[in-house]
Amino acid sequence: MKLKHVLKNLPFESNLPKYLENLEIIGIADNSMEVADNFLFIAVKGIHTDGHDYIEEAIANGAAIIIGEKPMSYKTSIPYLQVDNSRKAVGQIAKNFYNNPAANKTMVGITGTNGKTTTSYLIKHLLENSGKTCTLIGTIENIINGEVFHSYNTTPSALVLQKILAESKDEVVIMEVSSHGLSQHRVEGIEFDYCLFTNLDHEHLDYHETMDNYFQTKLLLFDYLKKHGKAIVNSDNPWGEKLANILKMRRIPVYSIGKAPANQMQIRSFNNSTIEFSDNNDLIQMKSPIAGVHNMYNILMAYTCATLFGINKSAIMSSLSKFRGVNGRFEMFKHTNGATIIVDYAHTQDAVLHCLTTAKQFSANHITHIFGFRGDRDISKRKEMLTVSSILSDRYILTFDDLNSMSESAMTQQLNQLQTNYGNEKGRIITDRTLAIQWAMENSHAQDWILITGKGHEKYKQLFQLPTESDKETVLYVMEQNYRKHFQDDDALLSQGTMEDEDFEIYPN
C-alpha cells in the first residue's frame, strides 16, 4: 500500500513530500522485532520501555519510514515523521492499512469492571441464534470466523485489533473494551454501533489512581459511538447512573436498565435465578439460565442489546433458556457428598459480594470462601474484599492467587497482615491453593457451599502440590480421589460381603 494511503487522515497527510507519497509499505509494526523490509515502524512510549529507543533496530530490520511522538535528537537514515500521540497514530495507521475493516460490521463494545465477558457471550449467543455470525474479542479467548484463538489482552493492541477485524468475515463484532485499552487508545479508529456499560467497582487503581479517573477512562468508550450509535447502561450502579446522565446531556440515545421506573428495562424483582422486568408495556418473567444475582444484570444488558438488533422478544427468551454459561464464571459442581462448589472469576469487592449473596439466597447451610490476591496488582482493594468475605462467609481461606513478581514469603506476610488487620476468627491461611480447595472439600457436608474465586477459567501460574492446573481441575481431581477412596473402601467391604450395590453413588452422575 502506498504511504499516502497508510497515512490518510493523519495531520501530515497533505504535506508529505512527493517522493514519500508513493513509497510502498508492505507491513506495519509497533515492535522493532517485528519489522521487516519496507515496513512502517511506529515508536510508542510504553509503560516499561520506550519504542523510540528501538528506532535503530527497526531501521536495521528494514523499516522504510518511522513515525514517533518525540523530536528526533539525531538524523535517521530514513524519514522520521512526528505525531502528537503515537498510540493514537497506531490505531489510525492500522485502520488505513487494513482498509477500515470495522466499517462493514456492526460493532458492539462492552466496558465496565465486571460482567463484560459474561455479557459478551450472552450477546453472541442471542445474535447467533437469530442467524448472525459473530466475532468475539475478550479476556478468555478470541473467536473469529468460528475459530478460537488465544487472547493475550482483553482488548488487543490497536494493531492486532485491526488485523483481527480484517480477518473476520463475521457480520457482528462483540468486544470487551478494558480501561487499559481505552487509556492506551487501542480502539482508536473504530466506531461502535452499540456501547455497553456494565458497572464500575474498585479495581485497577494501581493504574488509574482514583475512581474518578477510572470512570473518566471508561467514559472514553462513548466517544467512539457512531453518530446514531446507542448506549446501554446499568443505572443501578451509581457510576452507571452518572454515565447515563452525562450521555443524555450529550444527546446520545441511552437505554438504561435498573430498578427505578425511569429505566427502559425496569427490573421489578429478581433473585438468584429468576427475574421479572418490564420492557416498555410488557411484563416479562424469566427463569435465568445462569445463577447469580449479578448475572440478572448481564442477562438484561444482553437482552436489551438483542432487542436493539431487532430480534423479537420471544426469540430472545427462547435462546436465553438454552444458554449454557461461561467458562470459570459461577461454574457449579456438585460434590459427591452433596456440597455445592462454585468456581468464579470474582476479583473485586462487588463481585465477591454478589457471589456470596447468591450462595446465601440458595440457602447454603455453611459457606466457605477460598480466595487470594494477585501480586503486582491493585493492593488497595484487598482489605475491602476480605471485609466482605469475613462478613458474608461462615469460613474463609486466604490462599495464593498469581504471585507475578512477588515472592511467596512476601505474599504470605501480606496475607498474615490482612488477616490480622481486617480478618476475623472465621479465617485461616492455606497458601497452597490446591490444598486449600482439598481441605475445604474434605471438610464439607451436604447443603454446604464452597466458593473458589479469583482465577475462574485461568490456569495456575504457581506450582502447587496437587497435579492440577486450574481450580476446576483441582475440584474434579479431589472429587475423583474422594470417589476412588470411597470405591476402594467399598471394594473392601464388598469382598467382605457387607456392601449392597445400591449403596454406591456413581460419579460423575
Ligand X SMILES: Nc1ncnc2c1ncn2[C@@H]1O[C@H](COP(=O)(O)OP(=O)(O)OP(=O)(O)O)[C@@H](O)[C@H]1O
Ligand Y SMILES: CC(=O)N[C@H]1[C@@H](OP(=O)(O)OP(=O)(O)OC[C@H]2O[C@@H](n3ccc(=O)[nH]c3=O)[C@H](O)[C@@H]2O)O[C@H](CO)[C@@H](O)[C@@H]1O[C@H](C)C(=O)N[C@@H](C)C(=O)N[C@H](CCC(=O)O)C(=O)O
Interacting residues with ligand Y (CB under 6 A): 30-33, 44, 46-49, 51, 54, 153-155, 157, 178, 180-181, 184, 186
Q: Residue 329 phi/psi, 5° resolution?
A: -115, 105
The residue number with the shortest CB distance to ligand Y is 46
AA letter at 157 = S
How many beta carbons lie within 10 A of that of residue 274, not counting itself?
A: 12
Closer to ligand X by CB, 55 or 300: give it: 300
199 binds, among ligand Y, ligand X, none (CB under 5 to 8 A by kind): ligand X
Give the cell for residue 320.
Answer: 436465553
Q: Smallest distance, Å, CB 419 to ligand Y? A: 25
- Please report how many Cα atoms fall inside a 13 Å half-sphere around the Cα of residue 185, on the Cβ side: 17
Q: Smallest distance, Å, CB 154 to ligand Y? A: 3
Could you give the dihedral angle defined by the CA atoms of residues 179, 184, 189 and 195, in that order, rounded to the nearest 10 degrees? 0
Q: Does 258 bind ligand X (CB under 6 A)?
A: no
350 binds, among ligand X, ligand Y, none (CB under 5 to 8 A by kind): ligand X
Tell me the C-alpha distance between 115 and 31, whole Å: 32
Site string for ligand X, 336-355 (x = CB under 6 A): --------xxx---xx--xx
Q: Smallest distance, Å, CB 154 to ligand X? A: 6
- Please report how many Cα atoms fall inside a 13 Å half-sphere around the Cα of residue 376, on the Cβ side: 6
Closer to ligand X by CB, 344 or 448: give it: 344
Residues from 370 through 429 that contact ligand X (CB under 6 A): none
Residue 142 and residue 148 in contact, taking contact as beta carbons nearer than 8 Å = yes
Q: Does 368 bind ligand X (CB under 6 A)?
A: no
377 binds, among ligand Y, ligand X, none (CB under 5 to 8 A by kind): none
Tell me the C-alpha distance between 71 and 93, whole Å: 20
Selection from 43, 45, 24, 23 nearest residue 35 by Cα: 43
Selection from 69, 75, 61 nearest residue 26 by Cα: 61
Query: How many angstroms from the chain centroid is the CA of residue 484?
Result: 37
Tell me the C-alpha distance between 324 and 485, whole Å: 32
AA letter at 7 = L
Q: Smallest distance, Å, CB 152 to ligand X? A: 13
Q: Smallest distance, Å, CB 148 to ligand X? A: 17
121 binds, among ligand X, ligand Y, none (CB under 5 to 8 A by kind): none
Closer to ligand X by CB, 96 or 117: give it: 117
281 is an annotated ligand-binding site residue: no
**How would DSSP label each residue in 183-207?**
HTTTTTT--EEEEEE----S--HHH
Q: Does 298 bind ligand X (CB under 6 A)?
A: yes
What is the dihedral sign for C-alpha 478, 480, 486, 491? negative
Closer to ligand X by CB, 3 or 233: give it: 233
Q: Does 468 bind ligand X (CB under 6 A)?
A: no
Q: Does 434 bind ligand X (CB under 6 A)?
A: no
Q: Smallest distance, Å, CB 372 to ligand X? A: 15
Q: Does 154 bind ligand X (CB under 6 A)?
A: yes
Q: Smallest distance, Å, CB 181 to ligand Y? A: 5
Q: Does 299 bind ligand X (CB under 6 A)?
A: no
184 is an annotated ligand-binding site residue: yes
Q: Does 23 bind ligand X (CB under 6 A)?
A: no
- Please tell me the chain's helix, strand, coil percentages from 3-state DSSP, rounded to the nearest 5: 40, 20, 40
Closer to ligand X by CB, 98 or 192: give it: 192
Could you give the dihedral angle defined by the CA atoms of residues 229, 288, 328 and 454, in that order, rounded to the nearest 10 degrees? 80
Query: Among 54, 80, 224, 297, which residue sits at the site for ligand X (rule: CB under 6 A)?
Result: 297
506 binds, among ligand X, ligand Y, none (CB under 5 to 8 A by kind): none
Query: Among 87, 294, 369, 455, which residue sits at the site for ligand X (rule: CB under 6 A)?
Result: 294
What is the dihedral sign for C-alpha 300, 304, 305, 310? positive
Q: Does 199 bind ligand X (CB under 6 A)?
A: yes
198 binds, among ligand Y, ligand X, none (CB under 5 to 8 A by kind): ligand X
Residue appearing with cell numbers 509494526? 29
Could you give the dihedral angle defined by the CA atoms of residues 158, 164, 168 and 173, in that order, rounded to the nearest 10 degrees? -50
46 binds, among ligand X, ligand Y, none (CB under 5 to 8 A by kind): ligand Y
Closer to ligand X by CB, 32 or 117: give it: 117
Query: Among 92, 96, 135, 139, which residue sits at the site for ligand X (rule: CB under 6 A)?
Result: 139
119 is an annotated ligand-binding site residue: no
Tell me the C-alpha distance between 156 and 136, whole Å: 12
150: Cβ–Cβ under 8 A, 6 or more apart, which residues? 141, 142
AA letter at 469 = E
Residue 301 and residue 232 in contact, taking contact as beta carbons nearer than 8 Å = yes
Tell me the C-alpha distance between 185 and 437, whole Å: 40
Closer to ligand Y by CB, 180 or 248: give it: 180
Site string for ligand X, 98-127 (x = CB under 6 A): --------------x-xxxxx---------
Query: How many angstroms from the chain centroid is the CA of residue 51?
Result: 28
List, as residue ranges, the binding site for ATP.
112-118
List, as residue ranges, the binding site.
32, 112-118, 153-155, 178, 184, 186
Chain residues in the site for ligand X (CB under 6 A): 112, 114-118, 139, 154, 176, 198-199, 294, 297-298, 329, 344-346, 350-351, 354-355, 456
